[in-house]
Amino acid sequence: MLCSGAAARRGSISPWSRGPSTLSRRCARTLHVCPKNQDPRNYKISTGAALKEKYLPKLHNGDYIGCFGLTEPDHGSDPSSMTTKAVLNRDHYVLNGSKTWISNAPIADVFVIWAKLDNEVRGFVLDRSMDGISTPKIDGKLSLRTSVTGMIILENVKVPKINMLCVRGMKGPFSCLNSARLGISFGAPVVAAVAPQYQNVCRSPGG
């Protein structure tokens, strides 16, 4: 995550701005949970200047922690079948649904949530101050324990109209995920390069 502001208070290791290579050398697990959650570039998805100005600077300097809500309990490998709904109600949208296995959810300040509006996938930016958001932690993970993982439960969450992203359909979330995969792939050869210096440390007794 980031090493200043809220991120530092939550035990972060290295600033995202130093790049995937530095993150990989310090902690490979951290590299895997940063790209789509903390890289501010992934929050610039076709939205207005006011929304960018409100959230991006704080994500960039670590005052805010972000998370990315796509996966649902019954639609993990088929996100286009999501059941989280958004309904327009005068000057705001009302969101209901749930997401699961979301990195950083229990500690996040900002949430990018993907929901269906009139049967079309749309993105919404939520923040912790909105009523109706709960983020229970998922315990007992066997891997990537550097990050906390949880659910996002939305119960009649009122979201201002300005907080809806302009992108339509699954190209929205996939554009973010593709960027994250690229960063992770850059980290893999770096991990391989530094691994030999730890071979004695990691070797089991008598091995």
Residue 46 has a pLDDT of: 55
Is position 138 within any domain? Answer: yes
- Please give, one letter per residue, the 3-state secondary structure of the chain: CCCCHHHHHCCCCCCHHHCHHHHHHHCHHHHHHCHHHHCHHHHCCCCCHHHHHHHHHHHHHCCCCEEEECCCCCCCCCHHHCCCEEEEECCEEEEEEEEEEEECHHHCCEEEEEEEECCEEEEEEEECCCCCEECCECCCCCCCCCCCEEEEEEEEEEEEHHHEEEEECCHHHHHHHHHHHHHHHHHHHHHHHHHHHHHHHHCCCCC
Residue 189 has a pLDDT of: 76
Is position 10 within any domain? Answer: yes
What is the separation of C-alpha 177 from the centre of its chain, rounded to a whole number of angstroms? 10
Q: Give the CATH number, domain containing residue 23.
A: 2.40.110.10
What token pair was written down for 28?
A: 């490979």
Residue 7 has a pLDDT of: 44
Number of domains in the chain: 1
Is position 133 within any domain? Answer: yes
Is position 200 within any domain? Answer: no
List, for residues 110-161, the tens digit of each pLDDT value. Answer: 999 999 999 999 999 999 999 999 999 999 888 767 778 999 999 999 999 9
Residue 18 has a pLDDT of: 45
Is position 162 within any domain? Answer: yes
Residue 23 has a pLDDT of: 53
Is position 151 within any domain? Answer: yes
Residue 86 has a pLDDT of: 98
Is position 201 within any domain? Answer: no
The ranges of the chain with pLDDT < 50 are: 1-18, 20, 40, 43-44, 207
Residue 117 has a pLDDT of: 96
CA distance 116 to 136: 23
Residue 183 has a pLDDT of: 65
Is position 79 within any domain? Answer: yes
Indicate the pTM of the whole model: 0.73
Domain that holds residue 70: 5-169+177-191
